[in-house]
């Protein structure tokens, strides 16, 4: 089957969660279908991106989204009622390109990742699948509670617009998928239970246990210019770490990930290292003892937790993050509910080798059993061809 895939970003390199999900969907779907990829691009294109994607795609089309396009789209969204993030990515000239490619290729199915791109194809009379990925309305709502006085009302407006759009766009797509049960349950549509839950996977051949000398007690990884990650490491350093230092004075923290925001860089201290981009993130996992992801805002499944567990690291996270993961508390993962509680649970892992191994082993088994890209994408394939699960 000819499958037209429409994305808001070029899915390479894999430094962001939506890119990781899109790349692996494309990689695995290419085993069943002829993939024709159309991506928007609002940043510097990686020199290897197109060639890497052509390993799995018959054609790759990349449309440059200029700053003028972005500002124009945001201005129009202000008055149209569209979510700002949809306005950001929508441009009439690019729509003509999208429709031209569709007309040329004549695909039998269209696959869209995120509501950011659905305006381009919502009225095209071809069978379509939408990957909501996360429930972005709830993400915007949660971010508004932590935002500045200036941003708070903007995020509240955006949350309401996204919530309406998530519901309205539902009817335009034949099939819908999403990353977790809590995300599906938060979609404001009467038929939301028809959305299929397709979690992410983890490449267990790449992220597998190996040993390096342990240099850090605690690790956090991710795109460090992303608001939920910034908020998380601020909470880790400013709230959890002072409590933990009462128990372990010399405890060390590594914050690793691309493009650290100035708020993140300011967290560096004698106890906290901010590395920025690293060539091989696996080395960060291997030289750290515990992975801590105290996510306070945001939605969806945390890939960072899957990777850490695949590498047999014991993990401590928030109830919010574990709602999507659904790991067994105190057997496969530890969950913190306050700075003091996080500190107590982190200290218990660092001081108790038996408990350390129990959580590491349990988490590893959990990920190996439940998070496999090939298995999850086979479900998408069967859904697209109409054979169900």
Domain assignment present for 210: no
Using a pLDDT cut of 70, give the percent of the chain over it: 99
3-state secondary structure the chain: CEEEEEECCCCCCCCCHHHHHHHHHHHHHCCCCEEEEEEEECCCCCCCHHHHHCCCCCEEEEEECCHHHHHHHHHHHHHHCCCHHHHHHCCHHHHHHHHHHHHHHCCCEEEEECHHHHHHCCCCCCCEEEEEECCHHHHHHHHHHHCCCCHHHHHHHHHHHHHHHHHHHHCCCCEEEECCHHHHHHCCCCCHHHCEECCCCCCCCCCCCCCCCCCEEEEEECCCCCHHHHHHHHHHHHHHHHHHHHHCCCCCEEEECCCCCHHHHCCCCCCEEEEECCCCHHHHHHCEEEEEECCCCCCCCCHHHHHHHHCCCCEEEEHHHHHHHCCCECCCEEEECCHHHHHHHHHHHHHCHHHHHHHHHHHHHHHHHHCCHHHHHHHHHHHHHCCCC
Per-residue pLDDT at 357 exceeds 70: yes
What is the average per-residue pLDDT within 285-297? 96
Q: In the structure, what pLDDT confidence band is assigned to residue 15 with cuts at 50, 70 and 90?
A: confident
User: What confidence score (pLDDT) does residue 211 get?
Assistant: 83
pLDDT, the chain, mean: 96
Is 145 found in the same domain as 122? yes
Give the chain's domain count: 2
Q: What is the pLDDT of residue 298?
A: 76
The answer as to whether 208 is a domain residue is no
Residues 244 and 345 in one domain: yes
CATH classification at residue 248: 3.40.50.2000
Q: What is the pLDDT of residue 386?
A: 86
Report if residue 135 sits inside a domain. Answer: yes
Q: How confident is the model at residue 299 (pLDDT cuts 50, 70, 90)?
A: confident
Residues 87 and 163 in one domain: yes
**What does the pLDDT read at residue 389?**
43
209 lies in some domain:
no
Pick the range with the lowest mean pLDDT from 49-53, 86-90, 299-303, 336-340: 299-303
Predicted model pTM: 0.88
**Average pLDDT in the 295-307 region?**
90
Work out the pLDDT band at 110, boundaries 50, 70, 90: very high
């Amino acid at each position: 089957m000819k499958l037209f895939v429409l994305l808001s970003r070029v899915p390479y390199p894999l430094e962001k969660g939506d890119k990781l999900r899109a790349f692996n969907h494309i990689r695995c779907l290419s085993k069943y279908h002829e993939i024709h990829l159309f991506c928007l691009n609002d940043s510097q294109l990686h020199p290897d991106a197109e060639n890497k994607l052509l390993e799995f795609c018959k054609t790759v089309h990349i449309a440059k989204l200029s700053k003028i396009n972005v500002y124009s789209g945001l201005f129009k969204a202000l008055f149209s009622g569209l979510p700002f993030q949809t306005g950001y990515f929508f441009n009439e000239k690019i729509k003509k390109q999208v429709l031209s490619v569709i007309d040329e290729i004549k695909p039998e199915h269209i696959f869209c990742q995120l509501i950011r791109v659905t305006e381009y194809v919502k009225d095209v009379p071809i069978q379509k699948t939408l990957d909501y990925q996360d429930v972005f309305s709830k993400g915007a709502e949660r971010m508004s509670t932590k935002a500045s006085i200036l941003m708070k009302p903007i995020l509240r407006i955006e949350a309401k617009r996204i919530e309406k759009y998530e519901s309205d766009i539902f009817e335009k797509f034949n099939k819908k998928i999403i990353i977790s049960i809590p995300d599906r349950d938060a979609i404001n549509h009467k038929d939301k239970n028809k959305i299929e839950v397709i979690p992410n996977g983890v490449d267990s051949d790449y992220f597998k246990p190996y040993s390096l000398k342990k240099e850090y007690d605690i690790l956090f990884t991710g795109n460090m210019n992303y608001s939920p990650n910034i908020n998380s490491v601020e909470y880790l350093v400013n709230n959890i770490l002072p409590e933990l230092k009462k128990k372990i004075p010399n405890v060390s923290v590594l914050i690793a990930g691309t493009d650290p925001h100035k708020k993140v860089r300011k967290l560096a201290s004698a106890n906290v290292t901010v590395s920025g981009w690293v060539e091989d993130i696996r080395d960060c996992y291997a030289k750290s003892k515990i992975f801590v992801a105290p996510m306070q805002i945001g939605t969806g499944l945390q890939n960072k937790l899957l990777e850490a567990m695949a590498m047999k690291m014991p993990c401590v996270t928030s109830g919010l993050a574990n709602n999507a993961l659904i790991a067994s508390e105190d057997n496969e993962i530890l969950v913190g509910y306050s700075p003091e509680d996080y500190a107590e649970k982190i200290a218990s892992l660092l001081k108790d080798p038996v408990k350390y191994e129990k959580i590491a082993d349990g988490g590893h088994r959990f990920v190996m059993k439940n998070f496999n890209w090939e298995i999850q994408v086979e479900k998408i394939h069967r859904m697209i061809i109409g054979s169900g699960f």
